[in-house]
Every structure is written in structure tokens, then in C-alpha cells.
Amino acid sequence: MLSKKFYEVTQHEGVVSVTSWGNDSKPNVRCTWNSYLRITEDERILAPIAGFTSVQGDVAKNDRVILTLGSREVEGFNNYQGTGFLVEGRARFTDSGNEFEQMKAEFPFMNKLLEVTVESAKQLL
């Protein structure tokens, strides 16, 4: 599901926004970095988290999230300098297990692991 262009974007620095919403309609948006993302063989997106308490609260009620990410360093459509993606999926937070421990070794600051199961990934630019 994730394209070669998506993987190329994750190899360059840029901001990743994570948007969630609980039972009410008020969204919560938090950010991380492209360089913090790890993609599993089955194309789940993993991100080390320190904080994100409002997003964690939302995900406990509604596990749907939207991520946006991009990079000016990757050519987009029609020779446009830069491209980005809109990713929709289901999220969960963990604080144990093999993937958590592997990420914690790389990112000692984290206290939770955000895991997003991708349902769609659309290139925007």
C-alpha cells in the first residue's frame, strides 16, 4: 500500500502531524519528525512518543487517526519541488513488547510507542 515515493519522503526530514479526535468533534494535533518513523514489514508506522496525552485519550475512545508528512527534498507531481502524503489509519499506544523495546533502545526519551495500521496513503503534491 505504501509507495516508493512515501518511503523516499520518510528518508528526508520533515514534520509529521498526527490528528485524532475522541467522541466529540474537537480534533487534537501533535507533531513528530519523519526521522522518528519506522515502517514495519507489514507497513505499520511506528513512532516513539513522549507525551501526546490528548491523542492517547482520543485513541482510547476512537482509534482512527490522520497523519500528514512531507519533504521539500522529494520531487512530487509535475516536477513540483516537494511532496507530501495524507495517511489514514487505526492507532494504538503500547509501552511493552519487542517493538517497544527496539524503539526504546533507539529513542531513550520515549515512554509510549505509537503504532498506526495504515488504511490509506494518498500523495498530495
Compute the distance between CA of residue 52 and CA of residue 63 in angstroms, rounded to an integer.
14
Whole-model pTM: value is 0.96
Q: What is the DSSP string of 20-87?
A: EE-SSS-EEEEEEEGGG-EE-TT-EEEEEES--HHHHHHHHH--EEEEEEEEEEEE-GGG-EEEEEEE
Mean pLDDT for 37-58 is 97
Each residue of 21-42: pLDDT tens digit?
998 779 999 999 999 999 999 9
Compute the distance between CA of residue 39 and CA of residue 32 in angstroms, rounded to an integer.
15
pLDDT at site 110: 98
Compute the distance between CA of residue 55 and CA of residue 38 in angstroms, rounded to an integer.
19
pLDDT at site 112: 98
